[in-house]
Amino acid sequence: MEKPQTLITDNKRLDGRSPEEMRPLKIIAGYLEKADGSAYAECGSTKVVAAVYGPRDVHPKHDSEADKAIVRCKYDMASFSVDGERKRPGPDRRSVEISKVCSGALESVIMTHRFPKTAIDVFVEIIQADASTRVTGLTAASVALADAGIPMTDLISACSFGKVYGTLNGEPVETVVVDLDKAEDNWGLADVAFAYAPNLGQISLLQMDGRITREEFSSGMSYGINMCKQLYELQKATLKKKYE
């Protein structure tokens, strides 16, 4: 895709959304039969499957911790998940980094001390990528963990926000927007990945690319927290539905 002249015109984004509007959301708990817990999540055309196994024995054994479970999240983008060129299959620097930060974010809400010397394995597979994949992966993974019956202090609800360039009444503007799509992530001026435990009010992941002022950051955070609260309601509803 060529760089667009504007990403937002008179407060209307390329896909017609307003700055604080997220894409349509869908979450399904217990999406796979074989995993101990699983979930599917969709944010616009970003589509993700998460599967959880464990608590189970750790291999290799020396990776285990005497007083708690280890949380190993493996993020992967399927080679068919991106348009245009096929993504080279297998791990790369980006997926290793995302796996590490997602493991940390999920570990912050899992009661790991209840399962010493075990591993909780979380697999996040991106089957269609239209930006915000790590945050949609985290939203799905926390539902999959709850579906596996793993005790947690809260769910993780995660989203992205950022800053895009555009025009307002013909004048150039920079606008803060929530839930970035591929064009906004690619061409935007800044992007933030944000994971939140809504009940605890705790931030478990915060990554940023680009430049943003303090004021822009706080309005992005308030859009982001608002989106996470809506995600949270959807996450709880899908889990309740499964166990009704």
Q: Which residues bind to ligand ADP, rule: CB under 6 A?
A: 82, 87, 94, 129-134, 160, 182, 185, 193
Cβ at position 110, least distance to ligand ADP in Å: 21
**Of 58 and 144, CB closest to ligand ADP:** 144
d(CA 37, CA 25): 20
Whole-angstrom distance between the N-terminal and C-terminal Cα of the chain?
45
**Of 118 and 160, CB closest to ligand ADP:** 160
d(CA 35, CA 150): 13
Q: Which residues of 136-161 are buried (b: 16+ CB within 10 A; e: fewer)?
A: bbbbbbbbbbbbbebebebbbbbbbb
**Of 49 and 150, CB closest to ligand ADP:** 49
**Of 17 and 182, CB closest to ligand ADP:** 182
Cβ at position 166, least distance to ligand ADP in Å: 20
d(CA 87, CA 85): 6
Cβ at position 101, least distance to ligand ADP in Å: 10
**Of 139 and 160, CB closest to ligand ADP:** 160
CA 37 from chain centre, in angstroms, equals: 18
**Of 19 and 137, CB closest to ligand ADP:** 137
Cβ at position 179, least distance to ligand ADP in Å: 10
Q: Are 125 and 46 in contact (CB under 8 A)?
A: no
Q: Are 146 and 29 in contact (CB under 8 A)?
A: yes
Cβ at position 7, least distance to ligand ADP in Å: 15
Cβ at position 131, least distance to ligand ADP in Å: 4
d(CA 128, CA 149): 27
